[in-house]
Amino acid sequence: MVTPKDADPEIDRGAAAAEDAAKAPQIDPVEAAAEVILRRALDAAPDLKKALAAAGVAVVVQMPGAGWMGPVKTVWGRVVWPHSDVDQDGDSIKTPFWRFPAHHTAWVVYRRDGTQKDLSPGRGNAGVSAALSAGCPVVGFSPVPERHLPRDLMRVADLRIVIPPLDAAALAETLGVLTGTLPTAALSETLCRRIALEDLRLAWRPGTDANGYMGRLRRLLEAKAASTGVVLGQLHGMDEAVTWGMALVRDLAEYRRGVLPWSAVDRGVLLYGPPGTGKTTFAKALAGSCGVPLISGTLSQWQAAGYLNDLLKVMRAAFAEARAAAPAILFIDEIDSFGDRTRFTHDNKDYSIQVVNGLLEELDGIGGREGVVVIGACNHPGRLDPAITRSGRLDRTIAIPLPDQQALARILRHHLGGDLPEADLSKASLLALGGTGADCERWVRGARRRARHGGRDLVIDDVLDEIRGLQRARTADEAYRYAVHEAGHALVLVVEEPGALVSASIRQTADTQGGVVADRRDRKPVTRKEVAGRLRMLLAGRAAEEVVFGDVSTGSGGNASSDLAQATMLAAAALNAYGLDDGVDGLLWRGLPTPDTLPATLSLRPDMGAQVSAMLADGYAEAKDLIQRHRQELECIARLLVERETADGTEIEILVYGGEDGDAIATPP
């Protein structure tokens, strides 16, 4: 035979190899893995195989996750009952047991993971009795048998088989089945926990050996791990959430090994806090630390599907996806947008109620959510339907506060990476007080852009300039007025609630000319005295301006987050919802006011408006009196803010009360 001179022998050999691979029998890697973990479960109890051969045996098989039900069921026949070539869906059996056709080669199967809403433990029991009475074996597959399989099957089950998850040893054995060789290096258990069934197929190539497959699978899983971006140990300023997350990492690992029942695992949490504090980042970090998939959604995304039935369908699909990937984390952002059913008064009230009911059904309804941890995140937990945070649903609530100075320094360092390794970030973190983790990321990105556009290396001043932002030029008089205003708030906090002041600042932002940050998480119960104190603090900025300048600016008024709006809301709540009024109209709950409802309520209730106005007038007069008595301290704080832009609470307390760095000016209460 003559070979053409332009033929390439290597190409010919490659084509021959491809042809041989095409002729080779194709093995589904998922089915191969399913057979391995099934055989391992059977081998763990040698008497099982004999028991499974009995006529009319009833078997319950508990799966490591819903996704394994199909593959394990597929290999069940050839592994357990190789001479049976017929399997019948038990849920399709409608005939009474005395009319059930007895096929010696038939076996009846139930596959339930909770996604079929019409299949509950009360359904399918006639099929169980019909099959067993005819001598046919019955097997039920489910990740949560007690919750999903027919009740009669659970009652009469002769055997219960628990299928272990795919670990490193089972994966290596699977590769032996697929390739005829064993890998020289095992996959870590951490990466094994990240394996989704489709990953096993994505890593497969015809003709590959065990090491080639393992290398491809490892790269796939490492890329998946890297996509989470951050793990819990890298989060700062959310200690309570991280502590809870670390405990969940341990519990999920034990649950996967079969050591810990799902009933002992925290399966839901509500995270709340200001925008940008890292609630979404926490969910990603938790999934990364647990080595489990993260599925996410929002009500607005689900609403985009169309009408009510379409919305409910895609919402259920998100939960079904999480159940299929279990153990997994389902993250629902902006969960407060679901609202509270007791407050729905609009034309779409019935629609909104059904949406909330649909969410409640998925959280703990008939389908269950074995292996699925649900994390809800919101800015306003008070707008959430209380049923969503009931026990068994999102029954743990964790605040994600604004980060303190130390946390901000660590967050800035994280985002700077290898840049400015020796830089002192204390000034930057002090200036950043009141900012969020998302702000830190934006500031560092902007600082790098400044340096890049300037054709030079990054310097700390780039970071400081980004934190300051695009500032409008202030005159000295303007800066001092803003400083006096914020000093008024800070002074009242320091005098009346020592330790509560976190920082005061006149740093300009897109929305404000400054502000104070307070930490009241450990404050005493709210009484009439506490309400009066908070009113004084809220109105102290305006009072300080009047005391120092003889007139006031608009700095206390404006939108619903302004000082005056917050004070009005607090006074109205004390009168109408907290039971702290003087009892003139009797003790009565009239509802918690909201920024949307309060203006109309005050217009319709002049008597209530007069009471609220009187409370504000008293608080304002008391704030002015306090500031007049402590004017020297006020002006010291204001000068410090003009000089520094931002000062932390400890520094201001030392300035007011004295300490190692100064003489006492005021006397603590």
Side-chain-side CA neighbours of residue 61 (13 Å):
30
Query: Do residues 113 and 319 touch, judged by C-beta distance below 8 A?
Result: no
CATH 3.40.50.12780 fits 405-468, yes or no: no
Predicted local confidence at residue 227, as pLDDT: 57
Cβ within 8 Å of residue 506, ≥6 positions away = 479, 482, 483, 486, 513, 514, 641, 642, 645, 646
The dihedral built from the CA positions of residue 377, 381, 385 and 387, taken in this order, carries a sign that is positive
319-359 pLDDT, tens digit each? 888 887 788 899 999 999 998 888 787 777 888 899 999 99
Q: What is the gyration radius of the CA atoms in the chain, in angstroms? A: 33
Which amino acid appears at position 423 of this protein? A
Structure tokens belonging to residue 235? 């989060």
Calpha distance 493→534 (Å, rounded):
9
CA 232 vs CA 158, 242, 256, 394: distances in Å: 44, 6, 20, 20
Provide the 10 A C-beta neighbour count for residue 390.
14
Query: Do residues 404 and 424 touch, judged by C-beta distance below 8 A?
Result: no
Phi first, then psi, for residue 595 (nearest 5°) are -55, -25
Provide the 10 A C-beta neighbour count for residue 470.
8
* Residue with the two structure tokens 């399913």: 34
Query: Do residues 289 and 250 touch, judged by C-beta distance below 8 A?
Result: no
> In sequence order, what DSSP letters do the residues of 331-364 get, joined into one string?
EEETGGGG--GGG--STTHHHHHHHHHHHHHHHH
Calpha distance 208→12 (Å, rounded):
19
Predicted local confidence at residue 365, as pLDDT: 53
Calpha distance 605→608 (Å, rounded):
5
Residues of the chain with pLDDT under 70: 1-26, 85-86, 95-105, 114-117, 224-229, 365-368, 470-472, 510-511, 520-524, 582-586, 658-669
CATH 1.20.58.760 fits 476-657, yes or no: yes
Query: Do residues 36 and 174 touch, judged by C-beta distance below 8 A?
Result: yes
Q: In which order are the strands placed within the sheet that holds 138-142?
A: 86-89, 106-111, 138-142, 58-62, 159-162
Phi first, then psi, for residue 468 (nearest 5°) are -65, -35
Calpha distance 67→142 (Å, rounded):
10
CA 406 vs CA 143, 387, 413: distances in Å: 44, 37, 11
493-549 pLDDT, tens digit each? 999 888 888 888 888 776 677 888 787 665 567 788 888 889 999 999 999 999 999
Domains 29-162 and 232-399 share a fold: yes
Report which of 145, 146, 144, 193 is spatially closest to residue 168, judged by C-alpha positions: 193
The domain limits of the chain are 29-162, 168-227, 232-399, 405-468, 476-657
Q: In which order are the strands placed within the sheet that holds 372-378?
A: 294-298, 328-333, 372-378, 268-272, 397-399
Contacts of residues 612-617 at CB distance under 8 Å and 24 or more positions apart, as own/partner, are 612/568, 612/571, 612/572, 612/575, 615/535, 615/571, 615/574, 615/575, 616/535, 616/539, 616/567, 616/568, 616/571
Predicted local confidence at residue 583, as pLDDT: 56
Calpha distance 290→248 (Å, rounded):
8
Report which of 110, 120, 111, 117 is spatially closest to residue 69, judged by C-alpha positions: 111
Kindly report the pTM of this predicted structure: 0.64
State the DSSP code for 264: G
Report which of 339, 332, 334 is spatially closest to residue 393, judged by C-alpha positions: 332
Provide the 10 A C-beta neighbour count for residue 83.
9
Predicted local confidence at residue 24, as pLDDT: 41
Give yes or no for a cis peptide into 327 (omega within 30° of 0).
Answer: yes
> Exposed, middle or buried by CB within 10 Å (0-12, 13-18, 19+), for 195?
buried
Residue 236, H or E segment: none
Residue 321, H or E segment: helix 308-324
Report which of 162, 161, 217 is spatially closest to residue 186, judged by C-alpha positions: 217
CATH number assigned to the domain with residue range 29-162, chosen from the 4 options 3.40.50, 3.30.70, 2.60.40, 1.10.3470: 3.40.50
Which amino acid appears at position 526 of this protein? V
Side-chain-side CA neighbours of residue 542 (13 Å):
22
> In sequence order, what DSSP letters do the residues of 21-46 get, joined into one string?
HHHSPP--HHHHHHHHHHHHHHHTST
CATH topology of domain 232-399: Rossmann fold (3.40.50)
Residue 103, H or E segment: none
Q: What ranges in 349-499 are assigned the alpha helix state H? A: 349-364, 405-416, 426-431, 437-453, 460-468, 476-496
Q: Could you list the active site residues? A: 486
Q: Strand, coil or helix: what is 144?
A: coil
Calpha distance 424→405 (Å, rounded):
13
Q: β-strand 515-518 against 501-505: which pairing, if any?
A: antiparallel
Predicted local confidence at residue 557, as pLDDT: 83
Calpha distance 393→490 (Å, rounded):
40
Predicted local confidence at residue 13, as pLDDT: 40
* Residue with the two structure tokens 């197929």: 201
Q: How would you write 500-517 as a 3-class SS string?
A: CEEEEECCCCCCCCCEEE
Query: Do residues 177 and 32 touch, judged by C-beta distance below 8 A?
Result: yes
